[in-house]
Structure 1
Amino acid sequence: MGFLGDIGSAIMTPLYYAVSGILLVWHELFSQVLPETSGYTWVLSIIGLTVTIRTLLIPLFVKQIKSSRNMQLLQPQIKALQQKYKHDRQKLQQEQMKLFQDTGTNPLASCLPLILQMPVFFALFRVIDRAAQLGDDGGGRGFMTDQDAEQLQGATLLGARIADTFINTDLIGTRVLTMTLVVIMVATQFITQRQLMAKNMPADALSGPYAQQQKMLLYILPFVFAISGVIFPLGVLFYWVTSNIWTMGQQFYVIRNNPGPGTPAFKAKQERDAKKGRTVTEDPLESAKQAEIEAKPKPTRNQPKNKARNQRKKGGKP
């Protein structure tokens, strides 16, 4: 357990410094116009931290969109491989991996922004949680000093202390604001996922076991966030809500202006372009399907062999 703890500390310690450093830079900026001990100053600093992290993740988000689009375009070929090697699972996996490598597609790229955000989320959780539990050894972590931690611990917003959680406070204001943020967090998570499934997924992707799994997650994840939200410090909830709103807005912009092929959003963009007199972009997914149909060998019709006149008479009905 000590060895694993050392590994975890080696991974998280740089993140503590990065998160606390960015947080304190924003705090210093907002302290120029607001009291440095104010809850508004600390909450705006957390929002600034969120914007900074999400801005740094934009290249990964672009990569995620490209990978998702490639996956949609490859669906006809993947289905053909599944049909061809349905009795040889190992060969199917090899051929799929070869297809992904040849086309430069990474099926895991869609998870990268979320995966890379989680360590930052936990680092912020630990920074705020340590400040909330200010003890004899101080509450500073990373670049945050004990004085900074003391300020954060006592900072209030609308009668709520931003370092407290729903379950460790007796303040009504903290509980009301916490539940409000949990509701917003759950709603934005649901709307973002629903928007993706309804507008930016082709009809073929909405059927099958994978689609059913996505639909289950659509309704299960909000409950998970709602339950876990009561143990998060209020400041961490501000981070998560801001991140969700960023994701929702970013996804809306991408779906509207650069939608995936073969999706309702792509057809809607074609209609808008047609109304504005712009050149209507061809749907690459439909083109790929049409090319696949045209590439299939057409059945040949067996023509009867030429027969002599007397042979045709003999073969005919009397």
Structure 2
Amino acid sequence: MSDNRNMILAIVLSAIVLLGWSFISDRYFPTASEPSTKIVEGKQVPIPQPGEDPAADAPAAIRDRAVVLAETPRVAIESPRLRGSINLRGARVDDLVLTDYRQSLAEDSPFIRLLSPSGTSQAYFASFGWTGEGMTLPGPDTVWTASSTRLAPGNPVTLSWDNGQGQRFDIRLSVDDGYMFTADQRVSNSGTGAVAARPYALISRAEESEDPDSWTMHVGPIGVFNDAANYDWSYEDIAEEGDQRFSSTGGWLGFSDKYWLTALVPPQPADISAAFRRGANGGFQANYTVEPTIIAPGQAATHQSRLFAGAKEVELLAHYEDDLGIAKFDKAIDWGWFEWFMKPIFALLNWLFHALGNFGLAIICLTLIVRLLLFPIAQKQFKSMAAMRIVQPKMKAIQERWKDDKPRMQQEMLKLYQEEKVNPMAGCLPILLQIPIFYALYKVLMLAVEMRHEPFILWIKDLSAPDPMTPVNLFGYLDFTPPAFLALGILPILLGITMWLQFKLNPQPMDPVQKQVFSIMPWVFMFIMAPFAAGLQLYWTVSNILTIAQQKWLYSRHPQMKEAAEAK
């Protein structure tokens, strides 16, 4: 009867853990990227993901993108990593796809579209211009004249417009072989009087990002002001609280998705006024301006700014930060408080990937390296745990003898530990040391675009997404998709089994409730880990296997420990 009661209590506690974790993870810890494949009748097929195309030609689109693009004169953008065009009406960079990244794993999947013109669904664009006094200024309907029909690395394009009153406006646009545009704005005054010009740059976004914003991953308005990164504002905050304004020397600002970034970079020594704003049409805008310049007749004023529009690749962001002097540009990736630890883990993992050519093998090698570094500590842990198994009968006797005198029981327990030279807390240290490594890998799998859509072997085609191969729907032969926490893939099942085998080698708790909880815990964690990235499941499973091997090796070296433990 008592055993049944303990089992029921353990099941109830496990259910509370499962339900509580589901709530916490949904709110604070997004588990993985959206699945990019699914299993249908035992075969893996890519999942179409039109939602990743912010301006898809679908019924939801306001207007067909091809029609909108054809309505205005344009300059083509052609670089090793970008394709698109510049709209000569309004001088907007509003048509851009990233040719290194596709929406899904399908070979014919469209490239990731980052920017799209006004008039289409989820319009998203950047623009450069001026405010000022004493002259007519170019506006959103101004049609500019281009010096070339093609913008490419080494082939800049100058957009020009004359207001007919003695002022000429030029925007010289150039692009590198990455994701950085440079805009040199120039106002020439050949009129009879002085004019005041104030350059600005803006990014306009019609809708919020489809990526979730969470405690561990910032998505939304982002910037560095006065050498400090700002992740404080969400789209909801801007919508509810109104414009948010900042004064800064240098820095940058824009909008961040999970993997992509669009950001304005003013001259780093310049004093700027920046803002995140809610547009009258319900969209969002990031913009900055500098102090106005008085331009005398016969004089000209220039201003240089930059636009980053692309993937948040770690090495590329660091390159722009170092070579262009952009303040804390690497903060575009929200590593969090433990950045000092996570970036080295990423650097090691990325180096292993380039050396081995497979991120799954890189994760396995990372696991081996971690286990080797922790080997001496783990040996002490296993010896202590083996000794704990031996002294458990004595501990049980003390508990029975002093069950009505808790203080005396504690004293006798401490005395026993000292006499037998065992430490009941020794098993905690390796676990505590692995927590930051595990969390760092979680963040890397969540945030690093370098991990996106990277395969391992067999059915694991995307290590940043959950394991798709689940027996719950008979490997796709049943036509239904189970909820994330029930979609037990092969890897989470292996994780549960290896954790159970590992627990079997550990000393069993003397408290019956604890014993039941520990017996169920591996299977609870199997469900908890099911929605997480396959790369994280792989790391934990391999770590469990190495732990089991190390425990077995210890018992082979010290057979008296196992014999004494079994004799009890």
TM-score bracket, shorter-length normalisation: 0.5 to 0.7
Counterpart selection for 1:18 from 311, 335, 344: 344
In structure 1, what residue type is equivalent to 2:466?
T
Which is bigger in relative contact order (C-alpha 8 A, separation at least 6)? Answer: 1
Paired residue for 1:118? 435
Seen in structure 2, the aligned counterparts of structure 1 residues 260 and 152 have a Cα distance that, compared at 3 Å, is same
Counterpart selection for 2:363 from 39, 42, 46: 46
- Identical counterparts, % of pairs: 29
Q: Does 1:184 pair with 2:184?
A: no
CA contact (8 A) 2:342 2:440 kept: yes
Q: Does 1:217 pair with 2:518?
A: yes
Q: Does 1:163 pair with 2:457?
A: no
Instruction: Work out the CA distance in 1 between the residues paired with 2:566 and 2:405.
Output: 36
Instruction: Work out the CA distance in 1 between the residues paired with 2:523 and 2:396.
Output: 34
Instruction: Work out the CA distance in 2 between the residues paired with 1:26 and 1:178.
Output: 29
Shift of 1:178: 7.2
Shift of 1:214: 2.5
Shift of 1:244: 1.6
Shift of 1:242: 1.0
Seen in structure 2, the aligned counterparts of structure 1 residues 262 and 161 have a Cα distance that, compared at 3 Å, is closer
RMSD of the TM alignment (CA)?
3.5
In structure 2, what residue type is equivalent to 1:256?
S
CA contact (8 A) 1:260 1:266 kept: no
Give ranges in structure 1 of 5+ residues lacking alignment: 35-40, 132-148, 268-284, 286-318
Seen in structure 2, the aligned counterparts of structure 1 residues 76 and 236 have a Cα distance that, compared at 3 Å, is closer
CA contact (8 A) 2:455 2:463 kept: yes
| Structure 1 residues 14-33: Cα deviation after superposition (integer angstroms, max 9, x where no partner) | 33123213212322322xxx
Normalization by structure 2: what TM-score? 0.34
CA contact (8 A) 1:189 1:222 kept: yes
Instruction: Work out the CA distance in 2 between the residues paired with 1:261 and 1:242.
Output: 25
CA contact (8 A) 1:259 1:266 kept: no
Instruction: Work out the CA distance in 2 between the residues paired with 1:81 and 1:118.
Output: 34
Shift of 1:106: 1.6
Shift of 1:155: 1.8
Shift of 1:189: 1.7
Counterpart selection for 1:62 from 379, 396, 401: 379
CA contact (8 A) 1:255 1:265 kept: no
In structure 1, what residue type is equivalent to 2:376?
P
Shift of 1:105: 2.5
Instruction: Work out the CA distance in 2 between the residues paired with 1:224 and 1:48.
Output: 27
Which structure shows the bigger proportion of residues in helix conformation? 1
| Structure 1 residues 35-83: Cα deviation after superposition (integer angstroms, max 9, x where no partner) | xxxxxx1111111111111111111211112222333444455455445
CA contact (8 A) 1:23 1:46 kept: yes
Normalization by structure 1: what TM-score? 0.58
Which structure shows the bigger proportion of residues in strand conformation? 2
Instruction: Work out the CA distance in 1 between the residues paired with 2:560 and 2:429.
Output: 19
Paired residue for 2:407? 90
Instruction: Work out the CA distance in 1 between the residues paired with 2:372 and 2:400.
Output: 42
Instruction: Work out the CA distance in 1 between the residues paired with 2:375 and 2:552.
Output: 14
CA contact (8 A) 1:23 1:45 kept: yes
CA contact (8 A) 1:259 1:265 kept: no
Is the radius of gyration larger for structure 1 or structure 2?
2
Count residues with an aligned counterpart.
219
Aligned runs of 1:275-286 on 2, under 5 Å? none
Tell me the secondary structure at the aligned position of residue 154 of structure 1: coil
Shift of 1:237: 1.3
